[in-house]
Structure 1
Amino acid sequence: MSISVSQGGFSSKNIQGMYTAKNAAVAQPKETVTQGLKNNETDADTVQISSEAQQLFAARSSKREPGTLKIGDNLITWTMEKRVIHLDNDKDLRNALSEDINNAEKIADQIRSDYRMEYGKRLDISSDSLTWEIIGHIYPGEIAKALKKVDFLIPDSISRELDSIVKRTKTIDMGEKGKDENRGLWDDIADLPNWVQDTVKEAIDLVN
């Protein structure tokens, strides 16, 4: 059994279909699906989703709601549950940050807005803290190197924790205090003077 998901745009009616198509590797290769979604192709206006993919989506959506943000040709996706955001760490996310490191802040702002709409209360994570958690999972080494250039201001705890974040995961789990063991790290970086934060972002931009 399969279902067809229309690719006629980014209306609320087909957001779940887009999310499913992008993440259901059991349906067809991810790069093929996302390329079709990004291009909004008219010569193939449906994506066939397998029964297994439907079950996967049903299981995930039972406690989480999908979110999307289009940045250029990149479709950024995430799911939510109370006090936690699960951001897909994929090629689209990395491309968006490579094009402009400040896109991380756009994503963070949209996530916080969607969370308030979904749960009727604000997510107890600042936009800056979310921004640095996103950047930190894509460029942990670059952040550490840039911070060490101004290490007279950087607590040793920040450097040690950054050094420990060396692996990329398919999902970036971003939670409030008590739900995310690294929340304090990203809060600490977000509390650094603005000029330090800007210097680090500029350094990462130069590398990329």
Structure 2
Amino acid sequence: MDKIYDLLGNKIKVTLQPQLIRVYSNAELWQYLDGKADSRFKLMVEVIKADYKTHFGKVLAISNDSLIVEILVHVYCDYLGLSFNRMVRVKWIQALVNKLLKRAEVVDCGEKSVDSNRWVWDLLAGSKSFFIYLLPKNLNAKNIKKH
């Protein structure tokens, strides 16, 4: 089920499925996170998980911190890839980076039984503050052209 969450005036696109959510890394998400990732990630995850519970009648079995880190790392990789393509003007390298960017656009966050790398995000969840610190403070679609 596709959902659009209006969070502080930003339309955040998410797909809810049993044991899985998909968050779309797009200009709206970037604008929402811009400069305030810590508190805004928390709000976003709480809203999505509450809606998931309402829709499916059970809690999504992913910790908030694990979910935040997974989304954050994908958003950051998307940002780095777009920045790289602005600086490196070699077509074949840009084409390769664009393929990687396509994978970073949709963040599949699944429970352990459906997501073989959930353990990675669970392991990194304790470093959430560090990852938030690394996220650029000027993360915004205005700064880097974002679809």
Report whether the alignment pairs 1:189 with 2:120: no
2:122 maps to a residue whose letter is: D
Contact 1:67–1:114 under 8 Å retained in 2: no
**Aligned equivalents of 2:73, 2:130: Cα separation in 1:** 15
**Aligned equivalents of 2:106, 2:33: Cα separation in 1:** 16
**Aligned equivalents of 2:131, 2:15: Cα separation in 1:** 28
Aligned Cα root-mean-square deviation (Å): 2.4
- Distance change in 2, residues 1:101/1:172 (3 Å): same
What SS does the corresponding residue of 1:109 show, helix, strand or coil? helix
Pick one of 62, 68, 72 that aligns with 1:135. 72
Question: Which consecutive residues of structure 2, in runs of 5 or more, have no partner in the other structure?
Answer: 80-99, 140-147
User: Any residues of structure 2 matched to 1:1-208 within 5 Å, and which?
Assistant: 64=1, 66-102=2-38, 103-140=40-77, 167-169=101-103, 170-192=105-127, 197-206=128-137, 208=139
Equivalent pairs counted in the alignment come to 118
TM-aligned CA deviation for residue 108 of structure 1: 1.3
- Distance change in 2, residues 1:115/1:135 (3 Å): same
What SS does the corresponding residue of 2:116 show, helix, strand or coil? coil
- Over 6 Å off, 4+ runs: none
Question: Which consecutive residues of structure 1, in runs of 5 or more, have no partner in the other structure?
Answer: 1-63, 143-165
**Aligned equivalents of 2:70, 2:113: Cα separation in 1:** 16
Stretch deviating more after TM superposition (119-128 or 92-101): 92-101
- Distance change in 2, residues 1:99/1:206 (3 Å): closer
**Aligned equivalents of 1:172, 1:200: Cα separation in 2:** 16
- Distance change in 2, residues 1:141/1:67 (3 Å): closer
Contact 1:138–1:168 under 8 Å retained in 2: no
- The alignment's TM-score, normalised by the length of structure 2, stands at 0.68
Taking only the aligned residue pairs, the percentage that are identical comes to 26
**Aligned equivalents of 1:85, 1:190: Cα separation in 2:** 17
TM-aligned CA deviation for residue 190 of structure 1: 1.0
Stretch deviating more after TM superposition (105-114 or 167-176): 167-176
- The alignment's TM-score, normalised by the length of structure 1, stands at 0.50
